[in-house]
Chain A
Amino acid sequence: MSSQRVVVTGLGATSPVGGDVPTTWAALLAGTSGARRLTEEWADQLPVRIAARVAVEPLEVLDRVKARRLDRSGQFALIAALEAWADADLDTGSADPERLGVAIASGIGGVTTLLSNYDTLLEKGPRRVSPLSIPMLMPNSPAANVGLAIGAKAGVHTPVSACASGNEAIAHGVDMIRLGRADVVVVGGTEAAIHPLPMAAFAQMMALSKRNDAPEQASRPWDAGRDGFVLGEGAAALVIESAEHAAGRGAQVYAEVAGAGITADSHDIAQPDPVGYGATRAMRMALKESGVEPREIVHINAHATSTPQGDIAECLAITTALDGRIDQVIATSTKSMTGHLLGAAGALESIATVLALRDRVVPPTINLDDPDPTVKLDIATTRRTLPSGDIAALNNSFGFGGHNVAIAFRSA
């Protein structure tokens, strides 16, 4: 493997707090929650009736005919990817299609298409099932549709590792570039699972907050009163490319994707390892691959979903991974505002990490009114400033199945 440097040159997102990256970033810095009471009739019978829907409905942005051939997750992915593509100034045709790849992850895939067509099958019979069902619901559909939209002819991939998927897609894109399989890769994640079945199923796992009467206060990572995550939806995409390719075309550079670490707990299908050993190893691997020393890490965008067990295990893991050198680290949880975007979370939070490095500012973790006494990290509860000079940050994502993916970023 070459030691090819990989840089971030474009960003795109549609999230619960904004329809694009500038709006999302401004909302995160302002401490805005995207969680709301669900107004759909089906929500009334569920134990959890809150979620973080996208701020801008995709049909307000996408062409109607294009949109009807995509699952909601594919709609989100296309919006995010095309924003990133234009932001990277690649919509002018400066990338060789055969050196252009895609890695867009999803945790759950086209679940709303699958379930709505099952409803149609039961109510109206097989003749009425949409012939587009399979190309819409297959988990690789968002990646494939992004590939079609930008003309990508190197590999088009869909890593699936539950809530670590978005970060795994970034790691995969870095590998593609370092292995010489592509010069430019559009990486990211998407998720559209706010539907009664996944909502009921996550609630049955005791994974979701039941703070139905105060949705904006429901996602409260590291707070003593946390009782589960808030399901979010949306997509985020980053254009990454070899530093050489970016320099060759005079591209803007947000940050460097310095390295990634991927491990598995092999502990339990749903519960995190209580001391977070797998997470520790992922962070250490990311540091080693990137050549970043623990003392250089000034910021961590934590996975921190607001579940009782996970938030604590991650704190222990961070402390161990940095050899106890946590005094210089400011941590935050984007999910306190956006809820948990599952397969899109790692990608959206990587964008937040990259912008934190560029703008030297860490968005707050909201709702941290009564910090869990076992948490020893310095967590931003207001907007915090990062130091000047060369700095580095980690973004963590962990998923059901025991997947741990940490990405190390360096300031540009």
Chain B
Amino acid sequence: MASTEEIRSGLADIVNEVAGIPADEVQLDKSFIDDLDVDSLSMVEVVVAAEETFGVKIPDDEVKNLKTVGDAVAFIESNQAA
């Protein structure tokens, strides 16, 4: 299982690829939309890439609750296969 920091770092790489935000700016307190310039379509790209990277399923209904990087990290952490 990936650690919190490993998940944050992996997500940071994905956000960098999708939106061009430097990976070190992708910190737990940052909002995807307000701070990281990730629009709704890019968020879908981030979610799908995260599912593949971390082996989790992120239901469409859950995506609206993932407002910050920390929200996404916490969701992935608690839903990873043991």
Contacts and interface: CB of A to CB of B under 8 A. Distances in A.
Interface stretch (A124-132, A277-285, A292-300, A315-323): A124-132
Given A63-B20, A65-B19, A65-B20, A132 B45 contact: yes
A241 B16 CA distance: 40
A-B CB proximity, top 3 nearest: A65-B20, A131-B44, A131-B41
Interface string A109-133: 0000000000000000001101110
A194 B58 CA distance: 37
Q: Which of A65, A128, A135 gathers the greatest number of chain B CB atoms within 10 Å?
A: A65
Given A63-B20, A68-B18, A131-B44, 12 more contacts: A64-B20, A65-B19, A65-B20, A127-B48, A127-B51, A128-B48, A130-B45, A131-B41, A131-B42, A131-B45, A132-B41, A132-B45
A293 to B, nearest CB: 54
Interface string B37-53: 00001101100100100
Interface of B: 18-20, 41-42, 44-45, 48, 51
B16 to A, nearest CB: 9
A71 to B, nearest CB: 14
Contacts of B42: 131
6 contacts: A63-B20, A64-B20, A65-B18, A127-B48, A131-B41, A131-B42
Nearest to B37: A65
Contacts of A128: 48
Contacts of B20: 63-65
Interface string A130-144: 111001000000000
Nearest to A132: B41
Contacts of B44: 131
B63 to A, nearest CB: 11
Contacts of B51: 127
Nearest to B21: A65
Given A127-B48, A128-B48, A135 B41 contact: yes
A127 B42 CA distance: 14
A70 to B, nearest CB: 13
B46 to A, nearest CB: 10
Contacts of A65: 18-20
A63 to B, nearest CB: 7
A63 B37 CA distance: 15
Q: Which of A63, A64, A132, A135 gathers the greatest number of chain B CB atoms within 10 Å?
A: A132
A125 to B, nearest CB: 11
Nearest to A66: B20
A131 B60 CA distance: 13
A132 B19 CA distance: 13
Contacts of B45: 130-132
